[in-house]
């Protein structure tokens, strides 16, 4: 069984524990915050980045990011200086993934997620529980997808986005790079890059700096 390190010790990382289910032998978390290092978290130790070298054969699952830090995810992950072939992809056993879907590396797919035919998921993604991604959807690198979201067919979600939990996205539209979609938003038209949207229907409330 391959060994695994999870970065960082955050909500996404803790939720990932339930997704492992014997797929990997978990060594522990990696976190840059000295106050978290060395403690026992859910029975697992939290290390500094030195663990990436100490356990050089271990796979890495990197799941940083939140609604306030999602635009920094790419820099955080690239800062680990981990080669692509070292990243893990973890899929909960209760997720349903079409054999016709394509999924990149460093992707976390939580319980109850449904990904249907011809969906293309890029690298460095996190998809929270009970989200449905329909046929021919494309989700680009470094994007965070919340819980109980529905993304309808032929829609494209750009890089570095955050789609808040409970949102619904209509078919055949594009959500531009670095866009923030607030919780419970209904997106019925394309959204330009670097915009913040909320509401039903979605309305622009600001620009992502």
Its pTM stands at 0.96
Residue 209: its pLDDT value, please? Answer: 87
On whether the CB atoms of residues 163 and 145 are closer than 8 A, the answer is: yes
Please write the tens of the pLDDT for every residue from 55-65: 999 999 999 99
> How many angstroms from the chain centroid is the CA of residue 203?
24
Q: How far is CA 50 from CA 38, 55, 56, 89, 165, in A?
A: 12, 9, 10, 22, 34
Three-state DSSP class for residue 20: helix
Q: CA triplet 162, 167, 171: central angle to 5 degrees?
A: 95
* Domains of the chain and any CATH numbers: 3-86 (3.40.50.720), 90-199 (2.160.10.10)
Q: How many Å apart are CA 143 and CA 31, to the nearest integer?
A: 21
The two three-digit tokens of residue 3, written as one number: 């060994």
Known catalytic residue: 92? no
* Antiparallel, parallel or unpaired: β 203-207 and 195-198: antiparallel
User: Which of 105, 124, 134, 135 is an active site residue?
Assistant: 135
Write the pLDDT tens digit of every residue in 8-35: 999 999 999 999 998 999 999 999 999 9
List pLDDT tens digits, range 80-115: 999 999 999 999 999 999 999 999 999 999 999 999
pLDDT grade, residue 43 (50/70/90)? Answer: confident
């Amino acid at each position: 069984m391959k060994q695994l390190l999870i970065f960082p010790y955050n909500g996404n990382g803790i939720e990932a524990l339930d997704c492992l289910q014997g797929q990997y032998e978990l060594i522990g978390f990696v976190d840059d915050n000295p106050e978290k290092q060395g403690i026992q978290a859910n029975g697992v130790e939290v290390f500094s980045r030195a663990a990436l070298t100490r356990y050089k054969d271990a796979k890495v699952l990197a799941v940083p990011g939140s609604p306030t830090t999602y635009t920094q995810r790419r820099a955080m992950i690239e800062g680990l200086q981990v080669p692509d072939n070292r990243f893990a992809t973890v899929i909960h056993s209760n997720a349903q993934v079409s054999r016709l879907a394509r999924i990149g590396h460093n992707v976390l797919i939580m319980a109850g997620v449904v990904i249907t035919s011809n969906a293309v998921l890029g690298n460095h993604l996190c998809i929270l529980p009970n989200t449905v991604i329909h046929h021919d959807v494309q989700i680009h690198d470094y994007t965070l997808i919340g819980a109980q979201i529905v993304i309808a067919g032929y829609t494209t979600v750009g890089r570095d986005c955050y789609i808040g939990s409970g949102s619904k996205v209509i078919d055949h539209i594009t959500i531009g790079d670095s866009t923030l979609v607030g919780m419970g938003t209904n997106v019925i038209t394309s959204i330009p890059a670097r915009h913040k949207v909320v509401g039903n229907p979605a309305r622009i409330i600001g620009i992502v700096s």
